[in-house]
């Protein structure tokens, strides 16, 4: 994995500490290598499904 993009609804900057903590916990739980790849966090009005709060887009290079 070479890049991550997070699309987040109902985003407020004061949520960054909790969000990054949750991302680190999830990464450890699924075995993502450390350090994490570069990432972007993009606040959006809504996603495709109304109940979805976060969408993750990952770019990977396969050899």
What per-residue confidence (pLDDT) applies to 44?
96
Q: What is the pTM of this model?
A: 0.83
Please name every residue paired with 42 in a beta bridge, in sequence order, or none if there are none. Answer: 7
Per-residue pLDDT tens listing for the chain (63 residues)? 899 999 999 999 999 999 999 999 988 998 887 888 899 999 999 999 989 999 999 999 998
What per-residue confidence (pLDDT) applies to 36?
86
What is the Cα–Cα distance from 40 to 62, expressed in whole angstroms?
21
Handedness of CA 46, 49, 55, 59 (dihedral sign): negative
Task: Tell me the HSE value of 55 on the side-chain side, using a 13 A CA sphere.
Answer: 14
What per-residue confidence (pLDDT) applies to 19?
92
What per-residue confidence (pLDDT) applies to 31?
84
- Which ranges in 2-44 belong to alpha helices (H)? 16-30
What per-residue confidence (pLDDT) applies to 63?
87
């Amino acid at each position: 994995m070479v890049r991550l993009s997070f699309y987040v609804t109902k985003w407020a900057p004061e949520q960054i500490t909790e969000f990054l903590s949750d991302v680190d916990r999830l990464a450890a739980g699924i075995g993502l290598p450390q350090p994490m790849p570069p990432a972007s966090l993009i606040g959006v009005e809504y996603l495709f499904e109304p109940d979805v709060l976060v969408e993750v887009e990952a770019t990977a290079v396969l050899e």
